[in-house]
Chains A and B, each alone.
Chain A
Amino acid sequence: MSEPVATAGAIAAAVHAGRRSAADEVETALARIAATDSSLNAFTEVLAERARTRAVSLDRMPAAERARLPLAGVPFAVKNLFDIEGLRTLAGSRIERDRAPAARDAILIRRLEAAGAVLVGALNMDEYAYGFTTENSHAGPTRNPHDFTRIAGGSSGGSGAAVAAGQVPLTLGSDTNGSIRVPASLCGVFGLRPTYGRLPRTGSYPFVASIDALGPFARSSADLALAYSVMLGRDAGDPASLMSPQGGSAFESDRAAGMPSLDGLRIATLAGYFEDNAGEQAREAVAAVAGALGVTTHAVLAGAEHARAAAFLITNAEGGALHLDDLRARADDFDPLIRDRMLAGALLPAAWIDRARRIRQRVAFEAARLFEQFDVLLAAATPVPATPIGAATFTINGRTLAARPNMGLLTQPISCVGLPVCAVPVWSARPAWRLPVGVQIITAPWREDLALAVAAELERAGVVRAPVAAL
């Protein structure tokens, strides 16, 4: 029987104190992966030799130097669209198996390792990040650690599942339309989609360059904050990151550091579109979070349904155009779940897409106006909890919807306008609702610190939590 890994903060503290070595932590993670991944299928590559070599170098470091590394000895893994030196960057595809291996690690991997973390592997995903279920036809589906018959969500399904299963305490994923928030919601873990442009994407495989964001998954908001803080900083390799404010920290609102308390925060629950498209359990999850924060106010994001439609069209067109050469030459090598969508995206009229982009900007201004009245907005992360693998539909509020395109109904309008979101896991007390649903804590651009601070407050209140799955 393998033991799950501890949280990132606990691992770093144990390594700093000399109670555990980096090698101990890496072996715990590798043993957990070996014992559980045949059931989960979260990992597509385990880098045991690289991780052990890195752990040895950390353990040989002078203790004082190691103590300055905030993630000393913390094992982590990344969605397989991040470049890893010497490996092919698959992005969930068969086609990329024919490309050259990456010459260098992605910048966020380098930043995490510079902070003492240890990369142990690459994780499963929907092909080219175009999906919400991680039912990858080439690598097989990633299974939900809390119920193997159910999806882990996607497209960063391996990233959510690996954290929920206690294989690693920290993973990275990407989020275009909800690909961090959806698996966080369905796997019952914390996930952070930062502001568009906040974390540089240098060395990662793109999907929709005008919307894509990268971010972490973890079992606590404190771990998210730790990882997020060491990954901050612009990089010329990602032009979108150049508009990000310099500096910044996850801890700007930390009361212990004397920063503003959360007491005066103006928080509202998003009504209208976000209530209409949330199922009963999702609405109860939002009510539980709102209740713990003393929130009784509702707000409406004008144009939310337009932002969702715009996100759909921009995604479809940019995705299709990005892969046009391969669609011409070898369309049948694409995952059958995305091939025809990609082909259709390549054919869309330019005027449709330009209109979608102009409306996207319009809704971004609507969101900016809303943040003049409120600091934090709440909405469910997914309409429903995890659906069975292979399910074609789910039902909310009497409506039956296609499962694969609609699991992101509640996340798409928010990422379309580039806002930062921390997804927090809520577990119901009702026995029939044994799987979690996430809630989005949404803030104005560049205020990830507020979203993380509210998540931390909810953890302290016991309203949100990310238990390791019983495996």
Chain B
Amino acid sequence: MDTQDALARLLDANAAVLNLPISEAQRPGVLSYLALAESMHRILLPVQLGPTDESALVFVPQPPGAGHE
């Protein structure tokens, strides 16, 4: 399966799971942006990561009284 076919299948499957309608008018644009995102992912693929390479996400525990205004 080539990349375009794979992205079209990803669009159909994920849109169905997310209950996200993609109209025929939107589909070509969405596919082109999926292809752009996939090209960015390909740039990252050669980077070797180990199990200790943590995500940049850090959760911040909230002390009592620190709720939103």
Contact = CB atoms under 8 A, between A and B. Distances in A.
Given A237-B69, A242-B60, A361 B54 contact: yes
A344 B33 contact: yes
B18 to A, nearest CB: 6
A305 B43 contact: yes
A312 B11 CA distance: 19
Contacts of B22: 343
Interface size class of B (residues with CB under 8 A): 35 or more
A243 B56 CA distance: 14
A341 B26 CA distance: 10
Given A339-B29, A347-B14, A352-B41, A359 B49 contact: yes
Interface string A332-367: 000000011101111111001011111111101000
Given A104-B69, A324-B18, A347-B11, A312 B55 contact: no
A20 interface: no
A357 B57 contact: yes
A352 B43 CA distance: 11
B56 A313 contact: no
B10 A309 contact: no
Contact of A309 (B20, B44, B49): B44
Contacts of A203: 69
A42 to B, nearest CB: 29
B3 interface: no
A405 B57 CA distance: 25
Nearest to A416: B56
A356 B45 CA distance: 10
Contacts of A347: 10-11, 14-15, 18, 20, 30, 34
A313 B20 contact: no
Contacts of B43: 305-306, 309
A210 interface: yes
A358 B23 CA distance: 34
B20 A343 contact: yes
A340 B68 contact: no
A11 interface: no
B57 A316 contact: no
Interface in B19-69: 19-23, 26, 29-34, 36-37, 40-41, 43-44, 47, 49, 53-58, 60, 62, 65-69
A309 B60 contact: no
A312 B39 CA distance: 10
A343 B25 CA distance: 12
A349 B44 CA distance: 14
A233 B40 CA distance: 36
A340 B44 CA distance: 23
Contacts of B10: 347, 349
Interface in A185-226: 202-203, 210
Contacts of B34: 344, 347-348
A346 B37 contact: no
Interface in A225-240: 236-237, 239-240
Contacts of A456: none
A361 B55 contact: yes
Most chain B beta-carbon contacts within 10 A, residue among A237, A331, A340, A357: A340
B44 to A, nearest CB: 5
Please list the 3 inter-chain residue pairs (A to B) with the smallest Cβ-Cβ separation, ordered nearest first. Answer: A340-B29, A344-B33, A239-B60
Interface of A: 104, 107, 202-203, 210, 236-237, 239-240, 242-243, 303, 305-306, 309-310, 312-313, 316, 324, 327-328, 331, 339-341, 343-349, 352, 354-362, 364, 405
16 contacts: A236-B69, A239-B62, A243-B60, A309-B41, A309-B43, A309-B44, A312-B36, A313-B40, A327-B20, A340-B26, A340-B33, A345-B37, A347-B10, A359-B44, A362-B49, A364-B56
